[in-house]
Structure 1
Amino acid sequence: MDKPAGRPCRNLNDEFRCGIHEVLPQRGFKGCVVFDCFGAGQRITQETFGGRDWRSAPDLAGDMFALLPIVRQLHELMWFLTEALRLDEARRLHPKLRAALDETDALAAGNPAELRGFDVDAYRARVNPLLRRASEMARSRVAGRRADHSGAHLIGRRLRGADLRGASFRGALLIGADLSGADLRRADFTGADLRGADLRGANLEGALFLTASQLRSAVTGADHP
């Protein structure tokens, strides 16, 4: 289905819910299945615009749609920071991580004018080194060589059964990669593209920054017997 940006999906029902949510994969909407706004949509509606919506107040539509990508990125950062705070190995960084989490939450609570003028890319660039450090501290407990595949193009790569403990896949393209049976304990998946990657039988215990939407985009034993 094709539609211009900012135009409501024709499958959106009167309660602002997806009318075909239960059959999205069968209807070909794979992108919708793996999308996660990290609660940004709810915050924009309930907090930024005080419970108003673009149907009852159409003049708000432009602002609400424009702010979603900004608030979504801030909420995604909050998720990463919260995950980092769960890492015992990064305990020394916890005060800085908590401060960054509080700051990010406060920024996401800004008014529409403040959010419109906010340089979210520059802010992410300031917070990301802290998250990288937390990842390094957590992965340093893994003995031996830790592969660095940050930003790597691993589309369709055969890595079946590989020992990838503590590896970094930050921003890596793993589309269609075969990671079945691989040991991925304490591997960092920040921003990795796992669409169609085969994770059946892989050991993901303690994997870092692996989101639910990344798992939904991959091939797993749960949905591919």
Structure 2
Amino acid sequence: MSPHTPAAAAHGTALRADCANCFGLCCVALPFTASADFPVSKNAGRPCTNLRDDSRCGIHARLRDEGWTGCTVYDCHGAGQRVSQVTFGGLDWRGDPDRARGMFAVFPVMRHLHELLLYLTEALSLQAARPLRGALRSARDMVERHASGDPAAVAAVDVRAVRDEVNALLLRVSDLARARVPGRRRDHRGADLMGARLRGADLRGASLRGALLIAADLRKADLRGADLIGADLRDADLRGADLTDALFVTRPQLSAARGDGTTRLPHHLERPSHW
């Protein structure tokens, strides 16, 4: 498949994982360590024992039951199919060690770039960000150019520099959006709130960027307008919480947390099936 075909373009612009059009890259390229998220350890570049020859997971329906929770909360944001179908033109990593090494080097970089595209796309949709839309479009175009390069160019991208540039802009978006929230806006950026008792807390417009909220009790907390970019929500209790217009929430964050039918989510996100 040529990178210039409409089908390839569709793969490249999608910001949600399409495992049917990926060669199981997350199951091969990435390492993981035996923990509460994985029952065993695996080195980068080594296929997971559950990966079948058709690039599907052999225990997909039983991942949580068999201790593979880490797999269920992971999302490449479309990087897998882009690397598989666009960057490498539909060629599999199997049978060619050089191509495999190239794909495994490109995939983590592409995943970071697609995450930035996800955030920039959301920022562009925010009414409060209208004054910054020109800058946001320029940033999105810059990230897209990096993601559209050939394998060597993508692998060579300075991800930290790109993230720093985009993050500075996203901070300005966050400030504009949260300034519209009435009342006191708490600053918990990077805070250690593991296991914190925040049931019913008023966190409207709060900055929770990069906060550790592992196993925090956020039942019935008001998180409207809060910035949750990079917040660690593993095992956080979101039952009854209101995240209606929370900023920069992702599917992996929600999948890692605990919620129920009373949890209110941003309109563009689906309720995780295990809630």
> TM exceeds 0.5?
yes
Which runs of 5 or more residues in structure 2 are unaligned? 1-39, 262-272
- State the one-letter code of the partner of 2:148: A
- State the one-letter code of the partner of 2:176: M
- State the one-letter code of the partner of 1:36: D
Mapping 1:156-171, distance limit 5 Å: 156-171=195-210
Q: Report how far residue 175 of structure 1 moved.
A: 0.3
Aligned to 2:29: none
Task: Please list the CA deviations of residues 136-177 of structure 1 after superposition, one character each: whole Å capped at 9, or x if unmatched.
Answer: 111111111100111011000000001000011101110000
Aligned to 2:94: 55
- State the one-letter code of the partner of 2:190: G
Q: Report how far residue 122 of structure 1 moved.
A: 1.0
Tell me, in whole angstroms, the C-alpha distance in 1 between the residues paired with 2:95 and 2:174.
45
Aligned to 2:74: 35
Among 166, 171, 181, the alignment partner of 2:220 is 181
Aligned to 1:215: 254
The 3-state SS of whatever aligns with 1:13 is coil
Aligned to 1:132: 171
Aligned to 1:15: 54
Query: Could you tell which deviates more after superposition, 62-71 or 75-84?
Result: 62-71
- State the one-letter code of the partner of 1:209: F
* 1:105 and 2:144 matched: yes
Find runs of 4+ consecutive structure 1 residues off by over 4 angstroms.
222-225
* 1:141 and 2:191 matched: no
Q: Report how far residue 2 of structure 1 moved.
A: 2.0
User: TM-score by structure 1 length?
Assistant: 0.96
Task: Please list the CA deviations of residues 29-85 of structure 1 after superposition, one character each: whole Å capped at 9, or x if unmatched.
Answer: 111111111111111111111110111433311111111111100000000000001
Tell me, in whole angstroms, the C-alpha distance in 2 between the residues paired with 1:87 and 1:171.
21
Task: Please list the CA deviations of residues 14-34 of structure 1 after superposition, one character each: whole Å capped at 9, or x if unmatched.
Answer: 221222112111110111111
Tell me, in whole angstroms, the C-alpha distance in 2 between the residues paired with 1:56 and 1:5.
17
Among 83, 98, 123, the alignment partner of 1:44 is 83
Tell me, in whole angstroms, the C-alpha distance in 2 between the residues paired with 1:41 and 1:127.
22
Aligned-residue sequence identity (percent) comes to 59
* 1:155 and 2:209 matched: no
Q: CA RMSD in A?
A: 1.3
- State the one-letter code of the partner of 2:86: E
Tell me, in whole angstroms, the C-alpha distance in 2 between the residues paired with 1:85 and 1:104.
14
Tell me, in whole angstroms, the C-alpha distance in 2 between the residues paired with 1:135 and 1:197.
23
Aligned to 2:124: 85
Q: Report how far residue 116 of structure 1 moved.
A: 2.1
Aligned to 1:123: 162
